[in-house]
């Protein structure tokens, strides 16, 4: 019997952005005749990072950008290299392949990247705006804030899959939806839970230790999400959260981890952003829409962020 669900690949979803982004790159030929320049810093020997870097290069060059990978053999020189690149007027965007030190020093490095060149959207100002549901950098609402690219990619995937209801006003388009996010890292899981809740969803944010609920309250009465602790992690609690979940997003960095298929509500939307396959094949017997990987959409969002940064800097030059 054929399964009623469909697997949707990130490459298909990113196609719509490829067109939008390429035509914008063309439209700014007057100010960037050779294409905007993105610099990637690689200071680890992680094969996953290496692969991501080569994808970024290919994708960005295909869309008319220039991409330069700078390898830093001595990690302690990375900070200086970033500062120099911040000052280099030829460079439009900077990204760093993490982990570098694999500890809090990486969070420090994220803040060393100038916010005007921060294509990954990790600067504190952008994070704070996101958590507070503030969408512009200026009081006139003309300069848009930047969103971290992996959480943004998952939002765009949910838009593509029509989980966002476009009949509802912008900012409330997930009203009535229940989502489970298995990962609460500061890079992806927590910002993602906040973004989805800010858009009106009830989000269960799950990590190894506990489960939290992110919502804007009854009748979306709050302007930004609030967080409630639901208790320590247990399979039972996870099962309960999943029983009504329309969306399940996983990001567990482990080869052996598999999300329990029996917890998935029939017809739910399942998305995995981990580089490991967090769902096994049986997910297809339950999910209506299944997205096994998201990296290609993330790269599109990175390039989209870069164009927005250029636009923002032009606007602040000629307000």
Residues classed as catalytic: 149
Q: What is the 3-state secondary structure of 19-86?
A: HHHHHHHHHCCCCCCCCCEEEEEECCCCHHHHHHHHHHHHHHHHCCCEEEEEECCCHHHHHHHHHHHH
Sign of the alpha-carbon torsion through 244, 252, 232, 185: negative
When binding is defined by CB under 6 A, the residue of 253, 267, 280, 282 that contacts ligand NAD is: 253
Where in 1-40 is the site for ligand NAD (CB under 6 A)?
Answer: none
- Count the site residues for ligand NAD by CB under 6 A: 24
- Indicate whether 257 belongs to the interface with ligand NAD (CB under 6 A): yes
Q: How far apart are CA 92 and CA 72, in angstroms?
A: 20
Residues whose CB falls within 8 Å of the CB of residue 54, separated by 6 or more in sequence, listed in order: none
When binding is defined by CB under 6 A, the residue of 39, 78, 193, 252 that contacts ligand NAD is: 252
Q: Are 30 and 71 in contact (CB under 8 A)?
A: no
- Indicate whether 189 belongs to the interface with ligand NAD (CB under 6 A): yes
Beta bridge partners of 39: 68, 94
- Indicate whether 56 belongs to the interface with ligand NAD (CB under 6 A): no
- Indicate whether 154 belongs to the interface with ligand NAD (CB under 6 A): no
Please identify, among the stretches 59-67, 166-174, 220-228, 251-259, the one whose residues bind ligand NAD according to the rule CB under 6 A.
251-259
- Indicate whether 150 belongs to the interface with ligand NAD (CB under 6 A): yes
Could you tell me whether strands 66-71 and 93-97 are parallel, antiparallel, or unpaired per DSSP bridges? Answer: unpaired
Q: What is the 3-state secondary structure of 193-218?
A: HHHHHHCCCEEEEECCCEEEEEECCH
Q: At 49, list the tokens.
A: 């990072």
When binding is defined by CB under 6 A, the residue of 145, 183, 300, 305 that contacts ligand NAD is: 183
- Indicate whether 274 belongs to the interface with ligand NAD (CB under 6 A): yes
Q: How far apart are CA 306 and CA 317, in angstroms?
A: 17
- Indicate whether 64 belongs to the interface with ligand NAD (CB under 6 A): no
CB atoms within 10 A of CB 155: 21
Closer CB to ligand NAD, residue 37 or residue 187?
187
Closer CB to ligand NAD, residue 107 or residue 276?
276
- Indicate whether 93 belongs to the interface with ligand NAD (CB under 6 A): no
- Indicate whether 272 belongs to the interface with ligand NAD (CB under 6 A): no
When binding is defined by CB under 6 A, the residue of 210, 261, 275, 288 that contacts ligand NAD is: 275
Closest Cα to residue 267, out of 279, 280, 284?
284
When binding is defined by CB under 6 A, the residue of 184, 286, 304, 308 that contacts ligand NAD is: 184
When binding is defined by CB under 6 A, the residue of 82, 251, 263, 269 that contacts ligand NAD is: 251
Question: Phi-psi category of 272—alpha, beta or left, where left has phi over 0 and alpha has psi -120 to 50?
Answer: beta
Beta bridge partners of 182: 206, 250
When binding is defined by CB under 6 A, the residue of 182, 268, 302, 306 that contacts ligand NAD is: 182
Q: How far apart are CA 223 and CA 129, in angstroms?
A: 12
- Indicate whether 121 belongs to the interface with ligand NAD (CB under 6 A): no
Taking the complex as a whole, the smallest distance from the CB of residue 185 to ligand NAD amounts, in Å, to 3
Using CB under 6 A as the criterion, what x/- string covers residues 286-315 for binding ligand NAD? --------xx--x-----------------
- Indicate whether 207 belongs to the interface with ligand NAD (CB under 6 A): yes
Where along the sequence are the contacts to ligand NAD (CB under 6 A)? 48, 150, 182-185, 187-189, 206-208, 251-254, 257, 273-276, 294-295, 298
């Amino acid at each position: 019997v054929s399964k009623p669900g469909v697997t949707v690949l990130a490459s298909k979803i990113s196609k719509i952005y490829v067109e939008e982004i390429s035509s914008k790159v063309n439209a700014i030929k007057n100010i960037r005749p050779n294409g905007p320049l993105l610099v990637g810093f690689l200071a680890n020997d992680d094969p996953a990072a290496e692969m991501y870097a080569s994808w970024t290069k290919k994708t960005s060059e295909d869309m008319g950008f220039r991409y330069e990978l700078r390898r830093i053999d001595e990690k302690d020189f990375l900070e200086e290299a970033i500062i120099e690149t911040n000052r280099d007027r030829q460079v439009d965007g900077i990204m760093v392949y993490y982990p570098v030190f694999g500890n809090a020093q990486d969070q420090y490095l994220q803040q060393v990247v100038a916010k005007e060149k921060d294509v990954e959207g990790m600067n504190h100002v952008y994070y704070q705006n996101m958590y507070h549901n503030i969408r512009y950098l200026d009081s006139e609402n003309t300069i848009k804030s930047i969103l971290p690219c992996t959480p943004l990619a998952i939002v765009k995937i949910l838009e593509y899959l029509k989980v966002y209801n476009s009949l509802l006003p912008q900012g409330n388009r997930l009203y009535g939806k229940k989502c489970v996010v298995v990962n609460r890292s500061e890079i992806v899981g927590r910002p993602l839970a906040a973004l989805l809740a800010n858009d009106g969803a009830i989000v269960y944010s799950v990590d190894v230790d506990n489960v939290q609920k992110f919502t804007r309250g009854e009748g979306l009465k709050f302007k930004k999400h609030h967080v409630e602790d639901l208790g320590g992690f247990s399979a039972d609690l996870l099962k309960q959260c999943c029983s009504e979940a329309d969306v399940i997003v996983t990001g567990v960095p482990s080869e052996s981890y598999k999300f329990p298929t029996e917890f998935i509500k029939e017809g739910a939307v399942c998305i995995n952003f981990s580089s490991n396959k967090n769902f096994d094949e049986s997910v297809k017997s339950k999910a209506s829409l299944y997205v096994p990987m998201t990296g290609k959409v993330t790269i599109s969002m990175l390039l989209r962020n870069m164009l927005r940064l250029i636009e923002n800097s032009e606007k602040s030059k000629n307000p």
